[in-house]
Structure 1
């Protein structure tokens, strides 16, 4: 009788993992920290998105106070996103042996679970690394960053909730410190769990300390890896978009006019604008990339300019820039911002006339507002 050759056992080709640092207890411990970082990232990201792109129902109700609100929320958003990177890498390291489990799918439920985990991992990696590239304004992809990043954030949130629901019995059994998974590791397994968690904590602390100074100025001297330093730039303030990039160099003040439309439209020369009552304000400018810095601004209150045009109470505002191109060349401002006494058409920064890169001859500065909406090179105000 002829015997068929034995089937190859592919399981022999798969790596074997015996160390308990890949166990559920370790994954749960790191997962708690990662979940907290993702939660902060999601909440602050939603705040940032709707302040930057408010839907119609929110335009006139978004608050202009506290003046440091956006600075705090966006600083936390970027800081928690950067802190999530070593946490995510550590989490993936603890669970990647599951990729080599054989058979890979044992049932329909198991197959759906593995698909959901794949979606969770893909969304997590995309969010943290695309966000990191955004902080340095590098976009090596063909799609628009903001809407895609925002949409994938909700995919990630749903994936986390689904993963927790599916794994809840396992997570609950390893949540407590005194669970059986905390028994001492065999000597041959190398560094124990406590050492690993200390190392992850040190990594999170290190990347936070050397980047958070771009928004938390007391740590500015330690700002070694952040793409911006809050004190570097013309007039002591960083610049994202220069006048040259915006096509707004060489403004001729002899012909420049600020046009204000409304029931009583008018135009002002730069000298006439400077002759109006000036208001001083200490306000932060905070950008979506995570950096922020407080500065001393001086200019004319937007509320006063609208009143001269006969704007009705509660009117909004459309601001038009001299720049030739750009997604934020035209900006709209709701009534809460327009009537705030700290919202200025700024003419001076830190005691000096605005430089071209900071928006000469005039720019918007408003409290609790993303930097991309602090329009530079203003030439027209339209009462809405």
Structure 2
């Protein structure tokens, strides 16, 4: 007796190419924006050597916009991805599983594409709450898998191009006179998906777009919650910076003319003010009022050349960003400060007392706190 395997039958409707293409258009927009802004974020945090000293410091709100878009579109893509997978999952049970070389390439691209998409979106979501239940470093792996995802997506689009083109519009060529029996159901499904995307966006985007802050129900950070009116990701206790003695603290500046300054010396220098946002990689951001000494004045006092980079060293005893570097475009920008006050108050320990860096268009992890050393490179 010959045993013949039969693929399962699916009675649900809308598991068709037209619905998948409709969802794919929306998902594609989110993916494109998320990928481009993610590359910008990565290069601002980890610039290659050829770019390290030429990063742009303007617009001052640039990183706040790009990183806010990155996290917002990434979160919005999650319900879209679920909807897309729902429309196509019956094809996993097609028989025979491989019918041709083209079909094999399609299945390979789909396998890599789905795995990379799921990893990118959910790992990114966990990053917004700073939970890392894996043994590898998030940033380089997230960046590398993003390129794998884009490569698999390009292969998938190339393989499926004829079908995508045929179903890109509401009606397919050659079927203009035929009614679409699933039209009402498809519209209802797309409206439901759109509502889900709108709901998750509205309840999370307020962490970076403060006019919608009152709707910020699901985001891990609220821009108004924190000491001195600003959220804190890394406290002084976590960084190991406690009981800082003002009498013992010195700012050391190295260069052609090295020198040291006490906190009183810094306060006696001409003070400048900047209104700049703290924009963190997790997606939240908030503008604040800063006051302190311009970095360019400290560099001039040390005899630094105009094109010199600046290394900033924190007092914290551990952390990936204990030592950071300022490109000359940042260091010479008139808005870049060694800040001593935040929102007209002396910096709290969690915000970097005695002094911290604040610069325009710069990721929050690079706005170094608890600064005690500046090195002209």
Task: Indicate the TM-score class for this superposition, using the shorter chain for normalisation.
Answer: over 0.9
Aligned counterpart in structure 1 of residue 369 of structure 2, from 367, 370, 376: 376
Corresponding residue number in structure 2 for 1:48: 41
Give the match's secondary structure for 1:300: strand
1:147 aligned onto 2:143:
no
Give the match's secondary structure for 2:277: strand
The question of whether the paired residues in 1 share the 8 Å contact of 2:290 and 2:342 is answered with: yes
- Structure 2: how far apart are the matches of 1:238 and 1:217? 13
- What are the Cα deviations for residues 219-262 of structure 1, in whole angstroms up to 9, with x where unaligned? 00000000000000000000000000000111011100000001
Corresponding residue number in structure 2 for 1:247: 240
Corresponding residue number in structure 1 for 2:79: 86
Distance 1:109 1:177, change over 3 A: closer
1:119 aligned onto 2:115:
no
Aligned counterpart in structure 2 of residue 134 of structure 1, from 123, 127, 133: 127
Aligned counterpart in structure 2 of residue 363 of structure 1, from 356, 360, 363: 356
Per-residue deviation, 1:18: 4.1
Task: Give the paired residue count.
Answer: 374
- What are the Cα deviations for residues 185-234 of structure 1, in whole angstroms up to 9, with x where unaligned? 369xxx71000000000000000000000000000000000000000000
Distance 1:27 1:216, change over 3 A: same
- Structure 2: how far apart are the matches of 1:352 and 1:325? 27
Corresponding residue number in structure 2 for 1:322: 315
- Structure 2: how far apart are the matches of 1:130 and 1:108? 33
Per-residue deviation, 1:107: 2.4
- Structure 2: how far apart are the matches of 1:70 and 1:51? 9
Distance 1:186 1:208, change over 3 A: closer
Corresponding residue number in structure 1 for 2:93: 100
Corresponding residue number in structure 2 for 1:9: 4
Aligned 1:204-219 pairs, distance under 5 A: 204-219=197-212
- Structure 2: how far apart are the matches of 1:318 and 1:204? 42
The question of whether the paired residues in 2 share the 8 Å contact of 1:264 and 1:310 is answered with: yes
Aligned counterpart in structure 2 of residue 281 of structure 1, from 271, 274, 278: 274
Corresponding residue number in structure 1 for 2:163: 170
Question: Scaled by the length of structure 1, what TM-score is found?
Answer: 0.95
Corresponding residue number in structure 1 for 2:287: 294
- Structure 1: how far apart are the matches of 2:144 and 2:305? 37
Question: Scaled by the length of structure 2, what TM-score is found?
Answer: 0.97
- Structure 1: how far apart are the matches of 2:65 and 2:296? 26
Give the match's secondary structure for 1:58: coil
CA RMSD of aligned residues (A): 1.3
The question of whether the paired residues in 2 share the 8 Å contact of 1:20 and 1:185 is answered with: no
Corresponding residue number in structure 2 for 1:344: 337
Corresponding residue number in structure 1 for 2:190: 197
Give the match's secondary structure for 1:272: helix
110-119 vs 142-151, greater mean Cα deviation: 110-119
Per-residue deviation, 1:314: 1.6
